[in-house]
């Protein structure tokens, strides 16, 4: 027997009924984005490799180790989108969207990163993200943080924590970089291999290291907040006061530096203890230099992305994700009943918002009811020879196990009954 092909490592099939959770979450995201005045953007799943190298940054983990890069048959180097932001900026520039004033976009879709798969970390995962272009002030930071927070709060994720930090701008970053170099250099030989490699190229990334070897030196490192220039300090302080006014609880976490190069000033992450080691549910920040870096005008921007798999993991951990029973299972016992029921099934599927499940095999009632359970149907609509002779249908509520009889020839009565019962 040939072996069954398996999905590639680090990827997942999303199957019913779990796909219902995805649909529900996506529905809420679309509604949220609409309320905040964001329009949906969809970009290709692959882009030129160059875009991500320039956009995300050569010394980042993503570009150094994680991109799915391939040559197409025409010899072009292409990369499966490892994140959306650079692709969204590319599209906004290509379609001249940034010449028309501020722009608010959101997206839902897959990203691809060659990472070591584990709980909450996949090679294909999905993000919901937003990008707000054209505002340099902290009001836009507040706006995007509020969106992420509303989504999380809407699901009553009580242990979610908003961590914010500022990583300065081109005025104060060189100063902080020097301070970090001076701090870490004496410990060079005891730092982890990754950190040793990173120190000269990108010392901020050391603060992000999870390696226990680096921990004591990270804990004693100077914080960026203490070294911000006046303009960055003012931006950060105003954002904090806005968050307080908006009653969004936060902690200033000096270790949040983010793994992508385009950030400046505000960075933030929403974490949840329910996620375990991969605790970041959502990450984002300000990236005022990226549009120019990719050949566009000087347009400030801020955004975030939220990991959908991780969000659904949290919702599942919070429990009560059992699908409520919905719809009805049409059950015909015998050929005659099957023929009689067919037009009614068609009518129910046209008129009801909930599913009408049907099974066309000859089975015992018990077997039919098992199928109804598997479908999580709320009602069974049963037509057997007895009912047929009496011109009736049996409507069984599978939750309360109560039966009622309805006239067979009146689909209207049936539909009204079901609507009335709130199914
Ligand atoms: P990021 O921090 O790389 O930021 O990703 C954002 C979120 O996507 C993470 O917090 C996590 O929930 C989820 N995520 C990332 N990689 C994986 C993975 N391998 N498996 C499961 N979930 C994952 C960005 O991507 C930026 N583009 C966010 C942004 C938008 N900044 C400004 N605008």
Helix (H, G, I), strand (E, B) or coil at 281: strand
**What's residue 423's pLDDT?**
66
Measured distance CA(218)–CA(183) in Å, rounded: 9
Minimum CA distance residue for ligand 1 atom 2: 283
Measured distance CA(408)–CA(380) in Å, rounded: 14
The candidate with the shortest Cα–Cα distance to 403, out of 371, 379, 376, is 379
**What's residue 152's pLDDT?**
95
Q: Is the pLDDT of residue 396 over 70?
A: yes
Please give the CATH architecture assigned to the domain spanning 18-172+228-317: 2-Layer Sandwich (3.30)
Residue 380 Cα to chain centre, angstroms:
36
307 ligand 1 Cβ < 6 A: yes
**What's residue 373's pLDDT?**
94
Domain ranges of the chain: 18-172+228-317, 328-420
Alpha helices in 82-222 (DSSP H): 85-94, 138-154, 173-184, 193-201, 215-219
**What's residue 149's pLDDT?**
97
Percent of the chain with pLDDT over 90: 78
Measured distance CA(119)–CA(322) in Å, rounded: 21
Q: Is the pLDDT of residue 364 over 90?
A: yes
**What's residue 15's pLDDT?**
95
Measured distance CA(10)–CA(12) in Å, rounded: 7
Ligand 1 centroid from CA 262, angstroms: 14
Which pTM does this prediction carry? 0.91
Closest atom, ligand 1, to C-alpha of 131: 33
Ligand 1 centroid from CA 183, angstroms: 29
Minimum CA distance residue for ligand 1 atom 4: 283
Q: Answer whether 112's CB lies under 8 Å from 83's CB.
A: no
Minimum CA distance residue for ligand 1 atom 18: 121
Q: Answer whether 328's CB lies under 8 Å from 417's CB.
A: no
More confident residue, 51 or 406: 51
More confident residue, 352 or 231: 231
pLDDT in tens, 40-93: 999 999 999 999 999 999 888 999 999 999 999 999 999 999 999 999 999 999
Q: Which fold has domain 328-420?
A: Rossmann fold (3.40.50)
pLDDT in tens, 287-300: 999 999 999 999 99
Average model confidence (pLDDT) across the chain: 93
| 322: confidence class by pLDDT, cuts 50, 70, 90 | low
Q: What is the mean pLDDT of residues 132-139?
A: 98
**What DSSP state is assigned to residue 254?**
T
Measured distance CA(247)–CA(249) in Å, rounded: 6
Closest atom, ligand 1, to C-alpha of 122: 20
**What's residue 321's pLDDT?**
55
- Buried/exposed code over 293-320 (b: 16+ C-beta within 10 A; e: otherwise): ebebeebbbbbbbbbbbbbbbbbeeeee
Helix (H, G, I), strand (E, B) or coil at 105: strand
Closest atom, ligand 1, to C-alpha of 270: 10
288 ligand 1 Cβ < 6 A: no
Locus of tokens 């098992």: 370
Q: CA-based diameter of the chain, in Å?
A: 92
């Amino acid at each position: 027997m040939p072996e069954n092909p398996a999905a590639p490592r680090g990827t997942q099939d999303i199957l019913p009924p779990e796909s219902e959770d995805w649909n529900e979450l996506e529905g809420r995201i679309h509604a949220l984005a609409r309320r905040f005045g964001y329009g949906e953007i969809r970009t290709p799943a692959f882009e030129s490799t160059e875009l991500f190298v320039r956009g995300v940054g050569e010394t980042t983990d993503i570009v150094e180790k994680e991109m799915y890069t391939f040559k197409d048959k025409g010899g072009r180097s292409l990369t499966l989108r490892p994140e959306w932001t650079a692709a969204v900026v590319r599209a906004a520039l290509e379609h001249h969207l940034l010449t028309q004033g501020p722009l608010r976009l959101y997206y839902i879709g897959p990203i691809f990163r060659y990472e070591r798969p584990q709980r909450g970390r996949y090679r294909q995962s999905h993000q919901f993200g937003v990008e707000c272009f054209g505002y340099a002030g902290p009001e836009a930071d507040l706006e995007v943080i509020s969106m992420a927070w509303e989504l999380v709060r809407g699901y009553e994720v009580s242990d979610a924590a908003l961590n914010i930090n500022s990583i300065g701008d081109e005025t104060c970053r060189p100063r902080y970089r020097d301070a970090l170099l001076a701090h870490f250099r004496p410990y060079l030989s005891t730092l982890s291999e990754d950190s040793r490699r990173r120190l000269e190229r990108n010392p901020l990334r050391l603060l992000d290291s999870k390696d226990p070897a680096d921990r004591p030196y990270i804990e004693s490192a100077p914080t960026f907040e203490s070294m911000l220039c006046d303009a960055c300090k003012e931006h950060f302080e105003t954002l904090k006061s806005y968050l307080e006014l908006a009653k969004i609880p936060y902690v200033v976490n000096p270790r949040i530096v983010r793994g992508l190069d385009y950030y400046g000033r505000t960075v933030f992450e929403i974490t949840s203890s329910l996620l375990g080691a991969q605790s970041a549910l959502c990450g984002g920040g300000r990236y005022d230099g990226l549009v120019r870096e990719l050949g566009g005008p000087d347009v400030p921007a801020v955004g975030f992305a939220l990991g959908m798999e991780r969000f659904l993991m949290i919702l599942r951990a919070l429990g009560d994700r059992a699908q409520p029973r919905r719809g009805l299972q049409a059950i015909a016992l015998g050929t005659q009943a099957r023929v009689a029921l067919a037009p009614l099934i068609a009518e129910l599927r046209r008129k009801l918002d909930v599913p009408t499940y049907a099974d066309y095999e000859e089975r015992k009632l018990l077997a039919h009811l098992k199928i109804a359970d598997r479908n999580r149907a709320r009602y069974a609509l049963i037509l057997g020879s007895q009912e047929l002779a009496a011109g009736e249908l049996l409507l069984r509520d599978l939750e309360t196990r109560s039966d009622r009889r309805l006239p067979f020839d009146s689909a209207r009565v049936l539909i009204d009954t079901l609507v009335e019962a709130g199914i």
